[in-house]
């Protein structure tokens, strides 16, 4: 069974997906982590990040594995490197490259081929897992998302700069050549602007229970 959760940055997708996966014993598949890992691969390689062919060729050689529920890039656990501003910016740019999306989607479907999972990202319900049994789109206002990111304390940027970064990212995500941020026709839309994560979790859990 696949539970697919889409939505822009800062709506709580990762937290909700983690809680739901633990509740039902499903694997928590974070597609964004794969693009961030691909960015780490490119940044470490030293290739010109503006050279699309070189970037694609570099990502093509990468190996992605899930070991003990952790993401490994080329045999190394890279999860502690995935949330830096540099990787965040690069992953958003690289994920707009169609060939890279095809590469990553192939890895995601391979992992999903034999397990129950909760998949969260930008195009899980529309492109990667269009036949997912449960589809959910989480949303929230830009100001709310910026405040959430600011309160996490994981960024050195000001609140205003974080909000600008989110607006820029939203624009890129909604205008990608492939895998752009869209709402699937059969997805349940939940606006989380005035909800706590616990409330969102309860709503999502209810949708899964209803299907089961």
pLDDT over 90 at 2, yes or no = yes
Q: Give domain status of residue 68, yes or no.
A: yes
- Single residue among 65, 81, 114 that ends a domain in this structure: 114
- The answer to whether residue 209 sits within a structural domain is no
pLDDT of the residue at 42: 97
Q: Are residues 16 and 84 in the same domain?
A: no
Residues 56-78 pLDDT 10s: 999 999 999 888 888 999 999 99
Dump pLDDT digits (tens) for 8-55. Answer: 988 989 899 999 999 999 989 988 899 999 999 999 999 999 999 999
Q: What is the mean pLDDT of residues 154-174?
A: 89
Do 97 and 80 lie in one domain? The reply is: yes
Helix (H) or strand (E) segment spanning residue 71 = strand 70-73
**pLDDT at residue 113, rounded to an integer:** 84
Tell me how many domains the chain contains. Answer: 2
Strand order in the sheet with 27-30: 27-30, 117-121, 2-6, 134-139, 188-191
CATH assignment at residue 85: 3.40.50.300
Does 95 score more than 90 pLDDT?
no
| Nearest C-alpha neighbor of 24 from the set 88, 130, 116 | 116
Instruction: Name beta bridge partners: 30.
Output: 120
* Chain segment 129-148, per-residue pLDDT in tens: 999 999 999 999 999 999 98
**10 and 51 assigned to the same domain:** no
Q: Are residues 93 and 198 in the same domain?
A: no
Range of the domain at 87: 32-114
User: Which pLDDT score, from 0 to 100, does residue 173 have?
Assistant: 85
Contacts of 46 (CB under 8 A, 6+ apart): none
Question: Considering the entire predicted model, what is its pTM?
Answer: 0.77
Model confidence over 165-195: pLDDT tens digits? 999 989 988 887 777 889 999 999 999 999 9
Mean pLDDT of the chain: 92
């Amino acid at each position: 069974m696949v539970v697919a959760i889409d939505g822009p940055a800062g709506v709580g997708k990762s937290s909700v997906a983690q809680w739901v996966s633990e509740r039902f014993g499903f694997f928590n598949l974070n597609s964004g982590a794969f693009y961030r890992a691909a960015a780490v691969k490119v940044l470490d390689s030293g290739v010109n990040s503006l050279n699309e062919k070189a970037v694609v060729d570099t990502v093509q050689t990468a190996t992605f594995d899930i070991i003990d529920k952790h993401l490994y890039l080329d045999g190394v656990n890279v999860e502690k490197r995935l949330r830096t501003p540099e990787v965040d910016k690069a992953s958003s740019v690289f994920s707009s490259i169609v060939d890279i999306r095809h590469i990553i989607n192939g890895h995601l479907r391979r992992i999903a081929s034999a397990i129950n999972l909760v998949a969260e990202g930008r195009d899980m319900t529309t492109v990667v897992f269009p036949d997912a049994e449960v589809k959910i789109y989480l949303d929230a206002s830009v100001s709310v998302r910026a405040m959430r990111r600011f309160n996490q304390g994981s960024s050195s940027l000001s609140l205003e700069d974080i909000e600008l970064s989110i607006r820029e990212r939203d624009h890129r995500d909604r205008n990608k050549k492939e895998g752009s941020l869209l709402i699937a026709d059969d997805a349940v839309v939940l606006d989380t602007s005035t909800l706590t994560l616990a409330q969102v979790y309860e709503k999502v859990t209810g949708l899964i229970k209803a299907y089961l």
